[in-house]
Structure 1
Amino acid sequence: MRGSLSMITSVRHILLLTVKELRAIRGDKLMLALIVYVFTIATYMVSYAVSTDIKDLSTAVVDEDHSILSRRLADVVQPPLFAAPVQLDPKEAEAALKRGDHVLILSIPPNFERDLRAGRNATLELDIDATAVAHAGNGATFMTSLLSEEISRYFDLPGRGAGLVDVVFRNRYNPNLTPEWFTSVMQLMNSITILTLILSGASMIREREHGTIEHVLVMPVRPHEIVVSKILATALVILAATVLSLIFVVEFLIGVPVAGSLGLFVAGSAIYIAAIASIGLLLASFTRSMGQFGLLVIPVIIVMILLSGGMTPLESMPAWLQAVILTISPSPHFVRFTQSVLYRGSGFGLVGGEMLAMSAMSAAALAIVLLRFRKILSA
């Protein structure tokens, strides 16, 4: 009986403290503006801005052959992959490449068509501005393929696919390879990580800077009630922003088809947010101002995002690094969970392992925060 009464009292304290935290967040106009911006405008803009797809790539052509073939080769460089090519002479091409005016410059040497008809070796020169690594590499690949196919058509050579095997590609879950479908969801996940760390840590720093932590300490509440209330308030705000952003920005404005269960995604996101909020509180416990907290949290955010598998495949990392990051960070598990649920429509049976891993990390982070918080209170 006494244990049940104590539990009810503890839950009541947590709910009251959570309301206090939500009121504090409501009073922080700058934080609310940041949350709205990140989950709406930033998500939409980044989805369309961060892309390595080839579109209107700046090109130029140096035609020293002036043959029918050279004109046909220049004509295949057309939108939407490439901007309409600019005709340059060799000296202008060298200067343009140094100025960064064009990413790709195609040079067709004199007697190019004549050499090919005579059976002699002929070379096309493609100068690439490799300072734009991704666009240069993809652009060069597309350009090489276009030129090769046009030369084959011009001389009526057998096509590349005229062999005994016909290879058919089927793109699952993103048939048109639309980059915004991937970028928007990854940006949403990054926003969850960044704002959860900042919001949870700021709740602790705010108490110290405003001197209200002393008021909380004299209240008949326990350390775990204070910590859980801060995590719960952060989770409610971030989850609400995430769901609204997923429905109205990612799904409605950008047009990403969400294949899986929204309820399952919310459940997994809640577990992940609890783990990240615990980490944020832990970092805040070592600092006494927002400036110190910012300096401490920035490298943590960078490492968690870069090594989450959302920007680069986890499989491309060294095996030892994969093992470490999968053990200490919930981010790669959340990336796998989110991609599986939202893109592939997976159910609990397929993502239960990731949710279990995030739950274990959340429990471990919460336990460490409670130990640290008790030390702060005793001090």
Structure 2
Amino acid sequence: MQRILNTLRLTAKELRAIARDVVMLVLIAYVFTVSTYMVADAISTEVDHLAVAVIDEDQSILSARLTDSIQPPLFKSPDMIAADQALQAQKDGKYILVVDFPPDMERDLKAGRSVTINIDVDATAVAHAGNGAAFMSQMLGQEITRYFSPSAVDGSQIDVVFRSFYNPNLTSKWFTSVMQLMNSITILTLILAGASLIREREHGTIEHVLVMPVRPPEIVVSKILANGLVILIAAVFSLIVVVEWLLAVPVSGSVLLFVLGTALYVIALASLGLLLATFTKNMGQYGLLVIPVIVVMILLSGGITPLESMPGFLQVAIRILSPAPHFVAFAQSVLYRGSGIGLVWPEMATMAGMAVFTFSVTLMRFRKVLSG
């Protein structure tokens, strides 16, 4: 009972220290509100009003019809340019796509000869360019088919229907908002946990704690509890107010289950943050150490690029060393697909195991630092 009381008192002390750190509070509020909203609302790989130019060397009814079919919202109304202007226009960044209808296109198609329509793509914006070129190619093909056989209906034709589950309109905002929230949890948990120990060392209050009748496990647990509680409250607020309300992203699963899984993830991260802080003496050193860790964890979490696209050895390594891919899989399953604990318990168990292991290593390292 005395250990529990000591831990609670130390937790209250940590919470008061966070409350007095105005800069940190502003950072937490900004990251979980403004930053989440801005990133989700502004960053998009959807095809939306792409700038298009058309080189019409055919000057036929078909080429005019194809030009008229290039319309918002996927594309801007196309500009007509000459062939010798296309290269410079794309160098100047004016157009993502330049569509070139060759001479005698309609006549060749009517005669049964093959025709090549060139689509020059500014591939510096890879996602937009690739998606835009695919949509443009599909649209032109459909329009040409309708032009030459407007009344052709064959009941034996196969109609392929795509059904998009969990994000029926393929809205990138639904994905980006949750991934940004998860990245914010990762970044701020590591920063807050490490800063709590660095702050004690820089202010000299760690010596005061050492003369108190408390043990290292109580100090470590109090720091994890205090910082984890702040992160959890901010994350739930961001999920409900920013993601679900402001961005109108439907949350299918249980928020309580998400909080439980996030708590396991936060414990593992906070333990890691404290472990890294034991190797540094000030915030400058800690920042240089933790930034590469954050970058690797986020980039290899599966939230930006699928794990399946990574080399096999890297997939195995990151699943063993980092809780981030397990948290990404857990959060996507719960928030998007509405999965219950029966489906996500393996990811939760893995995060719990990593939390226990990281906490144990941190505690051993913490004892050495205090004794030193």
Give the structure-1-normalised TM-score. 0.95
Alpha-carbon shift at residue 274 of structure 1 (Å): 0.4
What is the Cα deviation at residue 167 of structure 1? Answer: 2.6
Measured after TM superposition, the shift of residue 162 of structure 1 is 6.4
User: Which residue is equivalent to 2:215?
Assistant: 222
Instruction: Count residues in correspondence.
Output: 372
Question: Per-residue deviation at 1:359?
Answer: 0.4
**CA deviation string 1:195-231 (max 9, x = no partner):** 0000000001111111111111111110011100000
Distance 1:327 1:158 in 2: 59
Q: 2:217 and 2:352 mapped to 1: Cα distance?
A: 18
Q: Name the aligned partner's letter for residue 235 of structure 1.
A: G
Q: Alpha carbons of 1:289 and 1:158: their partners in 2 closer, same or farther (altered >3 Å)?
A: farther
SS in 1 for 2:99: strand
Counterpart of 1:209? 202
Structure 2 CA distance for aligned equivalents of residues 159 and 206 of structure 1:
75
Q: Is the 8 A contact 2:46 2:171 kept in 1?
A: no
1:323 has 2:323 as partner: no
> Which sections of structure 1, spanning at least 5 residues, go unmatched?
1-7
SS in 1 for 2:280: coil
Please name the residue that 1:98 is paired with. 91
Is the Cα–Cα contact under 8 Å of residues 152 and 159 in structure 1 kept in the other structure? no
Mark the CA change 1:255 to 1:161 in structure 2 (over 3 Å): closer, same or farther: farther
Q: 1:361 aligns with which of 354, 359, 364?
A: 354
Shift of 1:159: 7.0
1:121 to partner: Cα distance: 2.6
What is the identity, as a one-letter code, of the residue corresponding to 1:119?
A: G
Call closer, same or farther: CA 1:133–1:284 in 2, change over 3 Å: same
Superposed displacement of residue 62, structure 1: 0.9
| Cα distance in 2, alignment partners of residues 105 and 360 from structure 1 | 54
Partner of 1:345: 338
Q: CA deviation at 1:366?
A: 0.3
Match for residue 191 of structure 1?
A: 184
Q: Is the 8 A contact 1:65 1:111 kept in 2?
A: yes
What CA distance in whole angstroms lies between the structure 1 residues aligned with 2:266 and 2:156? Answer: 53
Displacement of 1:164 after TM fit? 4.0
Match for residue 5 of structure 1? none
Rounded Cα–Cα distance in structure 2 between residues aligned with 1:160 and 1:56: 32
- Once residues 290 and 158 of structure 1 are traced to their aligned partners in structure 2, the CA distance between those partners, rounded to angstroms, is 72
Query: What RMSD over aligned residues (CA atoms) do the two structures have, in Å?
Result: 1.4
Q: How far apart, CA to CA, are the structure 2 residues paired with 1:137 and 1:75?
A: 22
**Moved >6 Å (runs of 4+):** 157-162
- In structure 1, distance between residues paired with 2:131 and 2:370: 57
Deviations 1:80-100 (A, max 9, x none): 111111111112212101111
Cα distance in 1 for partners of 2:73, 2:337 equals 30
1:142 equivalenced with 2:135 (yes/no): yes
State whether structure 2 residue 56 is matched by structure 1 residue 63.
Answer: yes
Residue 269 of structure 1 pairs with residue 269 of structure 2: no
Query: Closer, same or farther in 2 for the Cα pair 1:159/1:128, shift >3 Å?
Result: farther
1:256 aligns with 2:249: yes
**1:41 maps to which of 34, 38, 54:** 34
How far is the alpha carbon of 1:136 from its aligned partner?
0.8
- Matched residue SS, 2:304: coil
Partner of 2:370: 377
- Quote the Cα distance in structure 2 between the aligned partners of 1:209 and 1:91: 65
